[in-house]
Each structure stands twice: as structure tokens, then as C-alpha cells.
Structure 1
Amino acid sequence: MKKIAILTSGGDAPGMNAAIRAVVRTALHNGIEVMGVERGFYGLINGELKPMDRNSVSDIVHKGGTILKTARLETFKDRAVQEKAAQVLRIFGIEGLVVVGGDGSFHGAAKLSELGINTIGIPGTIDNDLAYTDFTLGFDTAVDTVVEAINKLKDTSASHERCSIVEVMGRHCGDIALYAGIAGGAELVVVPEKPYSVNDVVKLILEGRSRDKHHYLIVMAEGVGGAKEMAEEIEEVTGLETRITVLGHIQRGGSPSSADRILAAKFGHRAVELLMEGKTSRVVGIRDNHIIDMDIHEALAMENVFDEKLLTIAQEIS
């Protein structure tokens, strides 16, 4: 293995830069040239590649986003587009590719592997929605960002005796809502994995009133939907002023947490090791605090198992 490339794809996640840094410096330490692909698969098919050295990744470990930029490319599902991407990599003499992203990015990496390019995937997505790994890159930072916002909302909510509904990211996976809800002391966490009833929410508030409680915090994953309807029902039945706060893309940005920086270092280092071993179509992850790797198809086929115990904890300590 003499030359490899790295790209970031899909939604950005805090820690991507730290992963880029780890891949570049691990490769250079082992005498391997590195090229950075700008704008993900879109940039790859357009030949947007540049050489990277140690200085290219200086002072980026603490930065959010990705210095290589990212983009989505729906047409990468087409075989002709995949073949063009593989051809570009061969023209540049690249033997291995590290792809940092989520499940869509991994599907693209798998297709390139079928075309003879050694590919390794690093899970970079704040949703934590890849079942094969306990945690994905960026998740810890996103949770910290939500908790910081919750802390501030609780102050104003208590002052005005309001109910605050905080909508966080998570279309199909409620991990950000669940973890942030516990860490932020929410009275209720609503996730797409478990059905909920507005009547149960109203009952919770009415029971709290009997304990002389007059402000509430509800954390809801965006995939659940119905925040507006819930707020209206709460106000109509309880008379409690209810406000909705949608945190949106603020959860993607910001300096990565120390946990995400360390995870990025481990993921990036292992990705280069796998390429040096001649491996392809693999993804790295963490399970039971150990760095693992597995076949990319097996990883994508695994179904998410929701942490029922953690939700029980959230309910019992709320």
C-alpha cells in the first residue's frame, strides 16, 4: 500500500477532522502517501483530490465540521457513476480509500470495494444509528450540545413556569433525545422507537402539579413528530404555557468533545492498519470499549436494538 485517500460524506459530525488527522498522520508515519478528496463522492467523481501532509492536518483536532467538506450525491447509486469514481482513484494511483460517514456513505464504499478499490469505513454520524457499533463519531458532542441548550432552557422555563418541548435530531434513532434527556434532567423523553400518548404527557403534568411542580422539560426526537400538537394539547388541558424549541443543525457543529477526539484517533489509526493488512470492505467501530472491525455488508444488515433499560432509567428518575 503506497497511496491512500480519505473523504467525508453525508452529514458532517464533530470529530471528522480529528479522524482525518489520525488517518493522514498514521499513514505518513508508515510511509504511505495520502490524498484528501474534497466534497465527498461528488468531489471524487470530479477529481477534486489534493495531496495531504502533516501540516495539512495541523490545528484541526479541535475544530468541528470537516476541512475536506462534504456533500450528498444521490446519483452515486448508479453503476456508471461508481465506475467513474473508481477510475478517478486509479488515475491518481490510489490503492485504498477511507470513507467517514453514515450508512449511505458505507453503501458507496461497498460499491467501490466491488470495483477493486480497498475501502474502509469510519462511522461519522451524530445520530448514533449504526447498529454494529456502540457509538458513532460525533454522537457524544451532539449530546453535550443538546444538554447545554437544555440547561439554559430550564432556567427560563422555571422562571416563567412553562413547559418546554425540545426537539432534537434523530429521524429513526432516539439516542440523542434519550441520552440528553437523562443528562439534562428531562421530565419526559419521547423517541421514535417507543409509542407515546399525549394523554400520558398531560397526566404527568397534572400529577406534578399536585406536588407543587410548575415547569417541565420534554425532549423529543424529530422522527416522532407532533410537537406542535402536543404543545397545543398541553396548553388546552392544563393551561400551562408551552413553548417548542427546535435545535436543528446547531447539534452538528462545535468543537468535538474529548471522547469524540479520542474515538476519532482510534478509528483513524485502525482504518489505516486495515488497509496496510490488505483488508477491504470493512468498517471500524467500538463495542464494549474495544475497537472492532467487521464486514461492511454485515454491519449494514444489523438492526438497531433500542436500549430499553436506559429508557426505563429515564422514566424512573424523571
Structure 2
Amino acid sequence: MTAPVLVLVDHTVDGAVRAPVRELLTLARELAGGAGVHAAWTVDGVEPSAEVVAELGALGATHVHRVVVDADPHLSAVLAEALASLLDATGAGLLLVVSSFENKEAVARLAVSTGAGVVTDADGLAVVDGRYVASKTVFAGTWTTSCAVTAPLAVVALKSNSVVPSTVAGAPAPQIGEHAVAVSEKARRVTLVERVERPASGRPDLGSASVVVVGGRGTEGDFSVVEELADVVGGAVGATRVATDEGWIGHDAQIGQTGVTIAPRLYVGVGVSGAVHHRGGMQASGTIVAINSDPDAPIFEIADFGVVGDLFTVVPQAAAEIRRLKG
């Protein structure tokens, strides 16, 4: 493959690059060869700082494009047109995005307008016989598939924690340019009325965290032990559908087929039974640890390590021991 690779750079409101983007750039660097890696930064009131540009360059970006749109880039139709314009300008044959709800909606629109082949929730990507082939798990994590893109343009939404990010020592500074986009009236039919930022918890984002501690029915509504363990290991806090339906924690913490799909390197289930709809959202985790008082709980069927015991005894002891080992 000789075409450049384009990477959408998701960033926070304070201008920091989101962690999964580092994985995308590492992968793009490997796939692009000498064709170049183009990083797209949508200017939504937040500009890439000199430090961020240097970080993108160290990760492999050869070009950084400030994408300036005459409409709100948070709208999926606007973002899709902006990406289509930049793809045409760069000649990229592959677009990599983080597999989030927002990005998946945007690339679906992009596929309709460009005829691109799209793979979402991928956990790997390689070039096989001149084609991009993405790997992904399906059917609640029970099957691993390979999806070859036959269209001239490939768009892949990669799940977090799929690639170990790395930098290039002595990488040259990337070229910085502006790419202005005037979107169509069709893309302006939706107006964003209000955006409300979630209160900062100090914990990693659930969808991209490398460690996730999840509370289920067994917590009986007391998430204090779950939060304590998550804070000790530097992880995010998640929940099962029962826990969110009971109002013990917000619905944005729900993991499963009807919630957030995660693939952390470490998953710890605290009082989680392991119902099918929950397993569909976490079964791709690297290492699964289950803590449950019921030895017949279904989650033990997929757990790498299982502890049968009272979570209110086991979890505080585990947190205390980890804290001691960390000094």
C-alpha cells in the first residue's frame, strides 16, 4: 500500500490528545510506510499546542491539519463532510478513528457519501495481499472475524487498547497546515442546541481505560468498594445494567450490548453475575478477574482468575494489599 493514512485526532476540551489516538498513530505509522501519516485536528475552539504537535510528530504524524469548518464539527454530518474533503485533499487510502459512538455515526455518513468500506469496533488491522484486513470480535465476543475492505477507501474504527502505543526517537517535526471546509446545507439541517460536559471524576474514560472495575447486583448499591479498588489501580468504574437500572450509578457507566463496549487490558468484576448482555460488552478484555459469592455465577466461565467470597471482605483486602505493594 502506497497511499497515506489519515488519523482523526480526538482531543479534550483543554487540548490534550485522547489516549486511544496514540494507538491509532502508532498503527498508522506501521501501515503507511513512507507514504506519510496525516493527523486531522478539528478546530472547535481548541487549537493544538506546540507540545501537542510535537507529541503527534513523535507518534509518527508527518502532517498535522487544522480542520476549520464553517459549522459545528461535533455534528456527525458536518464531521463526515470535513473528513471527506480532507481525504480527497491528502489522497489517503485509509482513515483511522477511535471507535466511539460519535465517530461511528460520522463514518457511517462518510461511507454513504464516498462508497468507503467501513469496519467498526476493530481490534486489529493489517495489510494482506494488498488489502486492509481488520479483525474484530462478534456475537457477544464468541467469534473472531477478519474483514477485508475491497473498496478503494478503507475506514476503520479501532477499539481502545488494541495497539501498544510507541514513539519514534528523533522524529522530524510534522508539517502544519490549515484545511478549510464549507459544508453543504444538508449538513446544516441539525443544530446543536447545548453541550453539557460531564463532571470530572479524576478517573480514566470508561471506553478507553486500560483497567476497568465493574460493580454488579452483588454490590447491593454500595459502590464504595468498587470505587476504592478502581482508584488504587488507576482504573475506570463501570456497572452492569441492573446496577444502572436501580439507580446505583449513572447509565453512562453501563457496560454491555446496550451500553458501552470495552476491551481493557484488565477487567475486574465485583459482584457481577456475567449475564449474556453484559458479557457481550466486555468479553474481549485481556485479563478477566471475577469476585462473586456464587461459585456457579456464569462470569467464572470466562474469567482468567476467580475469587469466590464476600466482595465486601475480598475487595477491601485486595485494595489494601495493592496499596501496600505500591508503597
**Hey, which of these two has a bigger chunk of helix by percent?**
1
Above 0.5 in TM-score? Answer: no
Query: TM-score scaled by structure 2?
Result: 0.35
**Hey, which of these two has a bigger chunk of strand by percent?**
2
Relative contact order, higher structure (CA 8 A, sep 6+): 1
Query: TM-score scaled by structure 1?
Result: 0.36
